[in-house]
């Protein structure tokens, strides 16, 4: 499971053999959430409010890159790193 971005202690990852809907996994401390790319809603799991806000802000800035990585993952191609939130 490649880590595609890391910022403020949050790791964002995508799995190659994951299932729809398009989503990514965000990890912060002992928490994990699966977040839909299209609407940025939490599909499952939990992140503390502040960490979730940072992840959503980051994902809004990198929507197209997330979509491109999802497509690459479906095709078993290498994923691109995405700039962290600053």
Residue 17: which domain range?
3-74
Does the predicted TM-score (pTM) go above 0.85? Answer: yes
How far apart are the C-alpha atoms of 86 and 53, rounded to whole Å? 14
Q: Per the domain annotation, does 30 fall within a domain? A: yes
Q: 82: which DSSP letter?
A: -
**N-term to C-term CA, the chain:** 24
Q: Per the domain annotation, does 79 fall within a domain? A: no
Half-sphere exposure of 21 (CA within 13 A, CB side): 11
Q: Per the domain annotation, does 48 fall within a domain? A: yes
Per-residue pLDDT of the chain (86 residues; tens, 9 = 90+): 799 999 999 999 999 989 999 999 999 999 999 999 999 999 999 999 999 999 999 999 999 999 999 999 999 999 999 999 99
Q: Per the domain annotation, does 82 fall within a domain? A: no
Burial of 72 (0-12, 13-18, 19+ CB in 10 A): middle
Q: Per the domain annotation, does 39 fall within a domain? A: yes
Q: How many domains does the chain have?
A: 1
Q: Per the domain annotation, does 80 fall within a domain? A: no
Compute the Cα dihedral for 45, 50, 56, 59 and give only its sign: negative
């Amino acid at each position: 499971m490649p880590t595609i971005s890391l910022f403020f202690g949050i790791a964002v990852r995508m799995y190659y053999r994951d299932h729809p809907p398009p989503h990514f996994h965000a990890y912060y401390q002992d928490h994990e959430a699966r977040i839909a790319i299209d609407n940025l809603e939490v599909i499952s799991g939990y992140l503390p409010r502040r960490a979730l806000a940072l992840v959503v802000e980051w994902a809004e800035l990198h929507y197209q890159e997330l979509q491109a990585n999802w497509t690459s993952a479906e095709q078993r191609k290498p994923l691109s790193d995405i700039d962290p939130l600053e």
